[in-house]
Structure 1
Amino acid sequence: MRFINAKKGKVFDGIFHLLFNNIDIILFCCIIYVKLMSYEKDISSGYLNKAVVFPIAASILILLSFSLLFKEKNRISFLYIVDIVISAILVTDLMYYRYFKDITTVAAIRNAKLLQGVSSSVGSVANAKDLYYFLDLFILLPLEKIYKRKKKSARPLIRRLVSFLVIFVVGIGMNAVVFYRVSKEQPTLLTAMSNRIYLTNIIGNVNFHLVDSYNYINTAIKNSKSLPEQRIKDIKAFLKENNNSTDETNFKGIGEGKNLIVIQVEALQGFVINQKVNGQEITPNLNRWVNKCLYFDNYFYQVAGGNTSDAELMSNNSVYPAQSGAAYYTYSGNKYDSLASALKDKNYYTAALHGNSEGFWNRNVMYKAQSFDDFFGEHSFNIDEKIGLGLSDRSFLNQSLEKMKKFKQPYYSFIVTLTSHFPFEAVDKYGSFNVGEYEGTFIGNYLKAIHYTDAQLGEFLDNLEKDGIMQNSIIALYGDHFAIPKDNAQQLFKFENESNNDYTWFKYQKVPLLLHFPNDQYAGVNHKYTCQMDLYPTLANMYNLPRKYMFGKDMLNGDSQKVIFRNGSFIDGENLYVSWSDTYYNMQTGAKVNETPKLKKEKDEYTKELQYSDDLLNHNLIEEFDNGGA
């Protein structure tokens, strides 16, 4: 009996010592798993893919394996540091997701200095519950020191190496299974990363960042080499076919000799047009001008990590935003076949005007790259009234008008407003706007800010008309991107009395586009599905400009209703494809649609189109084509 009890005691002692000597590993695995799963839940659109458990476990094993190379006390410190790093990455990703509805990438971090002016915007989406991701670090810190003092054993190097290899190989093997399955189901997803949220939902956060880092380094290496000749020919053939304009007869040459004034309005989202709050029109001036313009009410923004700068890039060049980060920073050394460049070739004076600092979004470099004659930034204006990020829209638009009166005609004036930028500091400026029950809410503050900007736009447009400038000008006015981020979608859906789902979310990702012609000609509403990529081709037809390297289509000719989003989602005129949930919806009814061979073909073709645009930017192909390449 004594022998049996002694044996049991040894077993219990063995189990105790095993657990005690590895409690740091056990705690690490449990804590990181809970954090990674919590993150997945936070970015999932109402549905958590349970299969993500497998790749999360694999990534934890890979991280853990490296700790096994250290002696026990150093292992504890290593695991604690990894916990800190993972927690910081998760919270950063969550804040980025709430604001941009995207996942942080290496390229986005490279462009972080361009986001300094909107740090209050991104920082404001921080949530008190984010501290949850750091809570364990404060609890474990004193326990870590006590545990280190108690630990005596140190395993020999050979055992540590064997342990590392076994755990590492198991983790890599599990990941290989996951990546193989993903590559079979969606062949380009891991390389193009066109659908980052969906990818994160199926491979986990740690794996996503490993894949992103690998792709970033791999792309940098590949971009240092030439593209295969056949790939260049394929891109050139696609662009040639896409830019074939033989059938475009509507509005052909209507703008020749006339000034072009393009106004990009900060965060002007489509739902505010002809909408009221508390019995008052939100945008009474734009509502009035809608009736004097050709109004596109299904015009979608397509911005990505470059936000406002992406809207500028597409509107002026008809190329897609960068796969990651901001094209205005990454590709500022490229040659562009821009709207400003094409109009300059027709003896137009070209100028860009914006009330923020010249270096913000690298505009001082990018406007030169796009062949603008002049850029009037912050230092070109009297900063007599600041709201939010810079010069108020009221002062900016008034001063811009005075500058335009002195421009040599014909001219192209590209005007970018600022005051309605989040965090909406135009609230209650120049008279209160009563938003009723939405007072003090995110959407309520936005409605006040856009109401202010609407008043300034109304005065600006009225002055253009009064001063006779409109008689010899065509005006395009549009919003650059969303105002209400995904994190505040519930407020938008409540305001619009809509249900919260992916279809409804996309339905509201529209910005207004108003085209005004002299004497209010062609006023009416165009219901075609169109997008920012289509503005330049449309203006090119109106101004008889050559079309060579555009990915968009003329909105006033043809029957194309293609809208491709940077994350891989798309609209084909009848259906909506939501990339992060891999789901199709009927655009009219909102009902889910099963994938057909036709839809699968469209998905593959549109993914290829995004890749063609990436290749064009990555390899500066416009310069090569103009020099006779391929």
Structure 2
Amino acid sequence: MSKLNLFFLSFLDVIFFVVCVTFKILIYGRHMETGYIKTSSLFIPAIAPVIIAVSLSLVLKVKTRSRILYIFNIVISSFIVSDIIYFRYFKDIISLPVLISGFQLGAVKSSVSSLIDLKDFLYFADIVLIIPFINRYVRNIKYNFDLNYKIPIAVLLLFMGITLDFKSFYGLSKEQPRLLSTMYNKVYITRKLGILNYHCLDIYNSISANITKLTPVSREKLEDINAFMDNNKSDNKKLKGYAKGKNLIMIQVEALQEFVIDASINGQEITPNLNRWMKRSEYFDNFYYQVAAGGTSDAEFMTNNSMYPASAGAVYFLYSGNEFNAMPENFKNNGYSTAAFHGFRENFWNRDIMYKKFGFDNFYGEKSYKKDESIGLGLSDRSFLEQSLTKLNNMKQPYYAFLITLTSHYPYDAVDKYGDFDVGDLNGTLLGNYLKAIHYTDEQLGMFLDSLDKNGTLENSVVMLYGDHYAIPKDKEQQLFKFLDMSSASDVDWEKLQKVPLLVHFPDESVKGVNDTYGGEMDIYPTVCNLFDLPGKNMFGKDLFNPKNQRVIFRNGSFIDENYYYSAQDDVYYSVRTRKKLPENSSLKKEKDSTLDQLGYSDYILRHDAIDKLNK
């Protein structure tokens, strides 16, 4: 046997590792790609870190090397499958802070299992069917090349891998200078650098962020943030103090999206009660959820603090030791009693700790309710709202009550308990099940609001009701398009489908109508401060009745207003009116830079627990 053939056979495990892992990363890259990045550009960032890993293994003994590469293959394939499953619902990539709080998924196993596709496990096929036999064959070859041969090859491969990787990192740093350090757009990083480089970068930045927490707060940075906060304040003229002294009943509805409002199926209204109350309220029809990895907890955090979610993971876990200028504390300082209501475990999402931090006097969680009817994850919305009504009646007025519903939680699989709402051809689909779930929740909300009306509570109360986040993940978009009679949708159309309802009901229905102002969950707290004449400071949102600008910013760096939509995941600008792409100009770049500044300011406050240091 020639030395060349012997060399090839001796390193068969290495060759198959490079081929199989690179192939899997490229397939994964195509899965994440949406048509804005050429396939050829995915190859170098995919193979470069693989070459680096291989170069480091070449100097090891054959048996050790094959085992190390086998373990690498398992780890990389696990990351790929986990990322795909996570992306399927959250439209984002897993990060280390997400994994830290990942135990929360244990309570929503049905939600996770419904996202798994058996085809995902084809990524492990080579690990089970091919690689073990190749490794066994390589180990049986008695010839072992001298280090004098292996070291030069290893050094050459290491240099080549680092050079190729440097080119990818450098190119992305030039294209988007702040992206590599802030990680605000994890999907775009993964598309441009590949999954291995992304996860290495994520680990590095996570460690770096924890070290940064220990560094002193920059006075210059605080001055920049203060200057932004001062400039961001709305000129509160309209409805200033209009609800002063009234109760506030805030209802956050699980997975309530705007497309179901005023919509019908088979001649039946999907949300007849919300449709009815919408006409009796101020209804915001351009209102967006702004959540990130924290899901429902992010919505709660934004609503009560007017700060952005964490760049990765959930604020409720990562920053539970921080101080906040939260809405409940603000109300309490002005003579209100405050309480939060949710029919699920008190420690889920760390609520039992965070609600105290926010200043709630009481938190009525699972243990405060009689669990007489369970649907889906826990206590049914019917029982939850009925029992909450009794608790509300016993609260000292004026009060701020914050209620979070549960039954319409993904994956909407309790179809036998939602009633007999007919969804026709959508029966058995995710969208069909969702329509049944949200129709059920609508019925319970209708009875709850009607009860508040009949017992006279609404005569002295403002009710704010909104959806926390999306219901239909992107991989089920075709079901949604079919329901809405859309053959396809542009990126702008899809973003507009991410709206959630917001209605504000005033005593005597003195203010009502459709309000076209663009807003999001960040804007609820400043709006409340204006209506109830509360002191408002250190908030990133705007008063929806006195908007200074109408830009809605999302955690990944995207933004939308009445004129433009910027998709950070693709780095593309669009006209909202024409849906067509636009070239970047100085005005759009200024908006983009301002967006990143705001996200960076919010991150800085969280990481340094700096809310109390502002204005000092």
TM-score normalised to structure 1 length: 0.95
1:428–1:448 Cα contact (<8 Å) kept: no
Which residue of 265, 269, 290 maps to 2:253?
265
Q: 2:270 maps to which residue?
A: 282
Deviation at 1:48, TM superposition (A): 4.6
Which residue of 83, 87, 107 maps to 2:77?
87
Q: 2:551 maps to which residue?
A: 562
Letter paired with 1:120: S
Pairing of 1:25-44 with structure 2 (within 5 A): 25-44=14-33
Letter paired with 1:197: V
Which residue of 591, 607, 612 maps to 2:601?
612
Q: 1:4 maps to which residue?
A: none
Q: 1:384 maps to which residue?
A: 372
Deviation at 1:559, TM superposition (A): 4.3
Deviation at 1:155, TM superposition (A): 2.9
Give CA-to-partner distance per residue, 1:546-596, whole Å, 9 cap, x none: 111100001101341110000111013310001111111111221211211
Which residue of 115, 121, 131 maps to 2:121?
131
Which residue of 546, 567, 581 maps to 1:592?
581
Aligned Cα RMSD in Å? 1.4
Q: 1:6 maps to which residue?
A: none
1:56 aligns with 2:56: no
Moved more, 144-153 or 103-112: 144-153
3-state DSSP of counterpart to 1:528: strand
1:390–1:418 Cα contact (<8 Å) kept: yes
Deviation at 1:180, TM superposition (A): 1.0
2:251–2:404 Cα contact (<8 Å) kept: yes
Which residue of 482, 485, 506 maps to 2:495?
506
Q: 2:411 maps to which residue?
A: 423
Output the CA distance in 2 between the equivalents of 1:430 and 1:303. 27
1:623 aligns with 2:616: no
Deviation at 1:123, TM superposition (A): 2.3
Output the CA distance in 1 between the equivalents of 2:341 and 2:239. 27
2:13–2:138 Cα contact (<8 Å) kept: no
Deviation at 1:14, TM superposition (A): 3.0
Letter paired with 1:101: K
Deviation at 1:425, TM superposition (A): 3.5
2:452–2:458 Cα contact (<8 Å) kept: yes
Deviation at 1:114, TM superposition (A): 2.2
Moved more, 116-125 or 335-344: 116-125
Deviation at 1:149, TM superposition (A): 4.3
Deviation at 1:119, TM superposition (A): 2.8
Pairing of 1:201-216 with structure 2 (within 5 A): 201-216=191-206
Q: 2:525 maps to which residue?
A: 536
Runs of at least 5 residues in structure 2 that lack an aligned partner in the other structure: none
Q: Given the superposition, is the C-alpha separation of residues 431 and 119 from structure 1 closer, same or farther in structure 2, using an over 3 Å criterion? A: closer
Q: 1:296 maps to which residue?
A: 284
Output the CA distance in 2 between the equivalents of 1:512 and 1:43. 29
TM-score normalised to structure 2 length: 0.97
Output the CA distance in 2 between the equivalents of 1:544 and 1:525. 23
Output the CA distance in 2 between the equivalents of 1:234 and 1:165. 47
Deviation at 1:525, TM superposition (A): 0.3
Output the CA distance in 2 between the equivalents of 1:568 and 1:619. 21
Q: 1:239 maps to which residue?
A: 229
Q: 2:400 maps to which residue?
A: 412
1:329 aligns with 2:320: no
Output the CA distance in 2 between the equivalents of 1:537 and 1:145. 62
1:40–1:48 Cα contact (<8 Å) kept: no
Moved more, 299-308 or 61-70: 61-70
Give CA-to-partner distance per residue, 1:427-472, whole Å, 9 cap, x none: 2425311000000001000000000000000000000000100000
Moved more, 77-86 or 63-72: 63-72
Runs in 1 of length 4+ with deviation above 6 angstroms? none
1:387–1:425 Cα contact (<8 Å) kept: no
Runs of at least 5 residues in structure 1 that lack an aligned partner in the other structure: 1-9
Q: 1:572 maps to which residue?
A: 561
Deviation at 1:45, TM superposition (A): 2.1
Q: Given the superposition, is the C-alpha separation of residues 142 and 610 from structure 1 closer, same or farther in structure 2, using an over 3 Å criterion? A: closer
1:255 aligns with 2:243: yes
Q: 2:298 maps to which residue?
A: 310
Deviation at 1:495, TM superposition (A): 1.3
Residue identity (%): 48
Output the CA distance in 1 between the equivalents of 2:531 and 2:565. 30
1:419–1:425 Cα contact (<8 Å) kept: no
Output the CA distance in 2 between the equivalents of 1:270 and 1:178. 40
Pairing of 1:458-497 with structure 2 (within 5 A): 458-497=446-485
1:433 aligns with 2:421: yes
Q: 1:354 maps to which residue?
A: 342
Output the CA distance in 2 between the equivalents of 1:591 and 1:528. 22
Deviation at 1:224, TM superposition (A): 1.1
Output the CA distance in 2 between the equivalents of 1:428 and 1:20. 59
Moved more, 500-509 or 547-556: 500-509
Output the CA distance in 2 between the equivalents of 1:159 and 1:78. 20
Q: 1:121 maps to which residue?
A: 111
3-state DSSP of counterpart to 1:297: strand
3-state DSSP of counterpart to 2:188: helix
Output the CA distance in 1 between the equivalents of 2:423 and 2:593. 45
Output the CA distance in 2 between the equivalents of 1:573 and 1:225. 40
Output the CA distance in 2 between the equivalents of 1:610 and 1:173. 32
Deviation at 1:523, TM superposition (A): 1.4
Output the CA distance in 1 between the equivalents of 2:25 and 2:236. 52
2:222–2:614 Cα contact (<8 Å) kept: no
Deviation at 1:77, TM superposition (A): 1.2
